[in-house]
Amino acid sequence: MQLSEEYRDIGVVEASNGAKAFYSSQSLSKNYARALFQDIEVDSREWQ
């Protein structure tokens, strides 16, 4: 996907549990995307 010009802004982040998610670097930095995904995938589930 990253080889295609129209998708060059798409990246992948990984949470501490191994789950992966796509993000757009046009909208988020990699660190911010990782932090958001970590919160959704791991941290918020600890409270349920």
Q: Please state the domain count of the chain.
A: 1
Q: What is the DSSP string of 2-48?
A: TTSGGGTTEEEEE-TTS-EEEEETTT--HHHHHHHHHIIIIIHHHT-
Tell me the pLDDT band of 36, cut-offs 50, 70 and 90: very high
Whether 5 has a pLDDT exceeding 80, the answer reads: yes
Sequence-distant (6+) residues with CB within 8 A of 14 are 20, 21, 34
Which residue range(s) make up the domain with 11? Answer: 5-46
Higher pLDDT, 7 or 45: 7
